[in-house]
Amino acid sequence: MRMVGLLACLLLSGCQLVGAVGDKVFGPGTNPPDYAPPKDQPLLVLVENYRSPGYLQQPSDQLAALITDRLSENKVGPMISTEKLVTMRTERANEFGKMKIPDIGRALGAKQVIYINLKECDMEGIIGSNDIRGTIAAAVRVVDVASGQTKWPDVGDGKEFTSSTAYTRKDARDTEETIRNMMLDDLADDISILFYPHEDKGNAPTD
């Protein structure tokens, strides 16, 4: 009986130690990142519609800029600006369409690329209502530039995000564009927290 009690005490102490270490590293009530890019490796966020790269170009660039800013603010690593990507795409238009993900990353000095396939970003009015339905879908993966291999996730084509939400117009300023911006901002939050320690959204402090 004494031995059982001793083992139980050791197990409990081990659990407490793991919890204490977790709190010390990430902070109490904080979730670890799904994937933590190496801090010393330049990182590029590349967003496009995989099937038709020219489709959804404006929201793709907007989403890339939002995520890049959030990752930079949270010190995920050296971030390559979306402006550099847009400039290269413009100046090397004929070549750009033939470049693979690692080629683009290499040309901009990235070691890893957060690649986001923006599958859908649509807005539509709801008949007989003051609401607009927004639908957005994306898949996220991390590609190593040197090998061309997917570093994360281990299986599948990427972590999927899908949302279809009705947004109510509160006044005339709530256009489809402003509501699309809200939807992209929400998606940027959901994707960004994959890569740094974060609190649950429900527990995050509010202003």
Mean pLDDT of 57-84: 97
What is the rounded radius of gyration, in angstroms, for the C-alpha atoms of the chain? 21
**Whole-number pLDDT of residue 202:** 55
Confidence of residue 168 (pLDDT cuts 50, 70, 90): low
Q: Which of 127, 132, 142 is nearest to 174 (CA)?
A: 132
Integer Cα distance of 26 and 30 in angstroms? 6
Mean pLDDT of 142-155: 96
| Cis bond before residue 205 (omega within 30° of 0) | no
Mean pLDDT of 94-103: 95
**Whole-number pLDDT of residue 101:** 97
Give residue 157's Cα distance to chain centre. Answer: 15
Name 98's Cβ contacts closer than 8 Å, sequence gap at least 6.
none
Whether the CB-CB separation of 126 and 133 falls below 8 Å is answered with: yes
Phi, psi of 73 (to 5 degrees): -60, -35
Tally of CA atoms within 13 A in the half-sphere of 155 that contains its CB: 0
In this predicted structure, the answer to whether residue 132 has a pLDDT above a threshold of 80 is: no
End-to-end CA separation in angstroms for the chain:
54
Q: Is 71 helix (H, G, I), strand (E, B) or coil?
A: helix
Question: Within 10 A of 160 (CB to CB), how many other CB atoms are there?
Answer: 12
Tally of CA atoms within 13 A in the half-sphere of 104 that contains its CB: 28
Domains detected in the chain: 36-198 (3.40.50.10610)
**Whole-number pLDDT of residue 162:** 92
